[in-house]
Amino acid sequence: MSKGIRCLGLAWLFALVLLLGAAPSRAEAPVERFGVPGPLHLDGQAFHFAWSSHPYPHFYKQEYLPEGQALASYGQMLMIDVLLGEAGPRELAQAKVAELEARKAADPVVNYDLIEKADGSSYVLDFVVSGRTPGGEPIVEWNAYRYEVLPGAAVMLGISRRGYGHEGARSFLVDEMKPRRQAWISELARLDMPAIALPAP
């Protein structure tokens, strides 16, 4: 059941938005830091470790792709983000919501829904954004982020799916996302959280 969440202090929220909204370069070599080399499995699909980043001292990212897919043109992706420290799933979810609200000014496709578990221990945020490839091809991207707490850290387990090109984006929204969105969210919510070995701060 969805529940409203109060606003964070602006300074703290702004810092989180900068942190979680950053797009570090994929030029760095991927280093597996969580003890989760994969493959991970969702909806009958195996996802293999493809990329990682450590853009800030307390923030880590890892991404997983189906075999044969590339980071620049993926159709599906699984992600794990870890933020060391006192911030919990509520703060991370609300920071992402703030980022999406700010994005609306330039991206009319933006839409989202935030669901809080009854005991407040986790949140699931699903959202749609749009953009373009470096060559100018339209992209529509749907994501679902599941935020939970670990001792000394907050973790995000997420899935991303994309459609490319005018027809591909339309087909993705109408034929894939619309009829399957709730099933995708349920699958992510049921997925066992990987046993993550937290990096040293």
Q: Which residues pair with 116 in a beta bridge?
A: 123
Q: Where are the beta strands (DSSP E) in the chain?
A: 40-42, 45-56, 59-65, 76-84, 111-116, 122-132, 138-150, 153-164
- Sign of the CA dihedral 90, 92, 93, 98? positive
Q: Please report whether residue 73 resides in a domain.
A: yes
**Torsion-angle region of residue 35: left (phi > 0), alpha (psi -120 to 50) or beta?**
left
pLDDT above 90 for 16: no
pLDDT above 50 for 186: yes
Q: Shortest CA distance to 102 belongs to which of 91, 92, 110? A: 110
Q: Which domain holds residue 180?
A: 10-21+30-190
Q: Please report whether residue 200 resides in a domain.
A: no
pTM of the model: 0.86
Q: Please report whether residue 59 resides in a domain.
A: yes
pLDDT confidence bin for 200, thresholds 50/70/90: confident
User: For 24-38, what is each residue's pLDDT tens digit?
Assistant: 455 567 899 999 999
> In the block, which residue shows the tokens 């809080």?
116
Q: What is the pLDDT of residue 7?
A: 35
Q: Please report whether residue 66 resides in a domain.
A: yes
The domain spanning residue 147 has which CATH number? 3.40.1000
Domain count, the chain: 1
Residue 111 CA to residue 143 CA, distance in Å, equals: 11
Q: Please report whether residue 45 resides in a domain.
A: yes
∠ CA 118-189-96 to the nearest 5 degrees?
80
Q: Please report whether residue 42 resides in a domain.
A: yes
